[in-house]
Structure 1
Amino acid sequence: MLTPRHQALLMTLAGMTVGVAVFGTVVAVNGGNPFTAHDTPVGLVSPTPSSTPSRGDGLQADGLQYVVQNFGTGDDPVSAEVPAGWKSAQGGTRPKFLDSTGVWQLRFDTRGSQQSPEQLVANRERSIDEPGLKVLSRDGGTLIYTYTDKSRGPRMGLSRWISLDNGKTSAVEITVGGRPQDEAGLRAVLQHATETIKLPVSDGDDRPN
């Protein structure tokens, strides 16, 4: 778990498994682009209330708007952009954001792990105890699956683990959930969160197993 011993610095996540050591700088996210150093910390930004748009019977990627949400701890601040109108259900190192209907959700786990994204994908797949589980993909540190919820019916989950050291360990988990017909929108939310998340850089390795 990130502790107060960590430097309150930020790092860009370039892709899902790019490893880099950064000290004394703040790095902003530019998905797929080279790392860019900056000298400003994450600022506190108040989200603007808005409804989450949808068309037809699914979450539409092209209609989503995003706002910055701040979470983590005072010593280890984290921020990411989430869909406008999705409200925080819990904060800290494991924040969750839900739309007004509760159909769609976005969850972060910033505690990190000593296990690789591939190991965590396999662990999550084994741990899901839901009827009708079907794994659609387990590539690139991302698990995509569907199952049937007893009360809500067919559901889809996308869980991604991001590494900062060439896949040796995992720095953060990002999970989105919804229905199978929401796949395009869920993929967009997951990718946008991946590209915009800003994490403190640890000065030691005290992540859980």
Structure 2
Amino acid sequence: MLTPRHQALLMTLAGMTVGVAVFGSVLAINGNLFGNDTPAGVVNAQPSPSTPACTDCLRSDSLKYGQQTFGTKDSPVSAEVPTGWKSPQDGTRPRFADPTGVWQIRFDTRGSSRSPDEQVTSRAGSIDERDLKVISRDNGTLIYTYVDQARGPRMGLSRWISTDNDQSSAIEITVGGRPKDEAALRAVLEHATETLELPASANDTRPS
């Protein structure tokens, strides 16, 4: 039989056990309320990595331009091309390329009796390159891609400009590079078109 002293000791131990249990429950509740901001069943999503920038692409905002004159002595033509792009010859068909040979712009000042749209159709049907894909052929401009055996994927942008309401073509401008350089290639073509200066005799085109 328990003595009054033993009964008091058991009651004290029982009270301590209940207190510890209650304290532990409070800590668990507080932890859920304040220690974890993520609702139950929701996993914190890690931010998806951003697409790395193209480190070797041609960038239009880094290009500077200089005027080049070509054509013939009696019919000079000029336009601005990227600084540092050189042509081994002047004349009626100069081709200005960057030092690496990856990017280039070519002019053909000989003219043609064909309209710009006719030139686009003719060129699109005559390109003999692997995996040729015509991207667009609007407003006298042909944009296409292909695969070069030595240099891999390539892109060409050819534009024919008329000085007689699209009856004939006075000059062709073609820009070349890689498909991933498209934005800068378009910028080079537009800049050459905007700065192009043709002689008064540009309307005199030869049959072709």
Q: How do 1:139-154 and structure 2 match up within 5 A?
A: 139-154=138-153
Q: Which amino acid aligns with 1:121?
A: V
For the residue of structure 2 that corresponds to 1:140, the secondary structure is: coil
For the residue of structure 1 that corresponds to 2:92, the secondary structure is: coil
By how many angstroms is 1:82 displaced? 0.3
For the residue of structure 2 that corresponds to 1:207, the secondary structure is: coil
Counterpart for residue 199 of structure 2 = 200
* Moved beyond 2 Å, runs of 4+: 203-206
Gaps of 5+ in 1: 1-54
Report the RMSD for the aligned CA atoms in angstroms: 1.3
Query: Normalized per residue, which structure has more helix?
Result: 2
Counterpart for residue 166 of structure 1 = 165
State whether residues 169 and 205 of structure 2, in contact with CA within 8 Å, keep that contact through their aligned partners in structure 1.
Answer: no
CA distance in 2 between partners of 1:197 and 1:203 (Å)? 12
Q: How many residues align?
A: 155
CA distance in 2 between partners of 1:67 and 1:105 (Å)? 14
Greater RCO between the two (CA within 8 Å, min separation 6)? Answer: 1
CA distance in 1 between partners of 2:203 and 2:182 (Å)? 37
State whether residues 89 and 98 of structure 1, in contact with CA within 8 Å, keep that contact through their aligned partners in structure 2.
Answer: no
* TM-score, L = length of structure 2: 0.72
By how many angstroms is 1:89 displaced? 2.6
State whether residues 141 and 159 of structure 2, in contact with CA within 8 Å, keep that contact through their aligned partners in structure 1.
Answer: yes
CA distance in 2 between partners of 1:185 and 1:205 (Å)? 32
By how many angstroms is 1:88 displaced? 1.1
Q: Percent identity of the aligned residues?
A: 68
By how many angstroms is 1:148 displaced? 0.2
Relative to structure 1, the CA distance from residue 151 to residue 169 in structure 2 (aligned partners, 3 Å threshold; closer, same or farther) is same
CA distance in 2 between partners of 1:179 and 1:152 (Å)? 9
Relative to structure 1, the CA distance from residue 196 to residue 84 in structure 2 (aligned partners, 3 Å threshold; closer, same or farther) is same
* TM-score, L = length of structure 1: 0.72
State whether residues 88 and 96 of structure 1, in contact with CA within 8 Å, keep that contact through their aligned partners in structure 2.
Answer: yes
Gaps of 5+ in 2: 1-53
Counterpart for residue 84 of structure 1 = 83
Q: How do 1:35-184 and structure 2 match up within 5 A?
A: 56-184=55-183
Per-residue CA deviation, residues 80-130 of structure 1 (Å, 9 max, x unaligned), is 100000011321011110000000000000111110000000010011000
State whether residues 146 and 155 of structure 2, in contact with CA within 8 Å, keep that contact through their aligned partners in structure 1.
Answer: yes
Structure label with greater radius of gyration: 2
By how many angstroms is 1:206 displaced? 4.5
CA distance in 1 between partners of 2:170 and 2:187 (Å)? 21
For the residue of structure 2 that corresponds to 1:90, the secondary structure is: coil
CA distance in 2 between partners of 1:64 and 1:90 (Å)? 22
Q: Which amino acid aligns with 2:76?
A: P
For the residue of structure 2 that corresponds to 1:100, the secondary structure is: coil
Query: Normalized per residue, which structure has more strand?
Result: 1
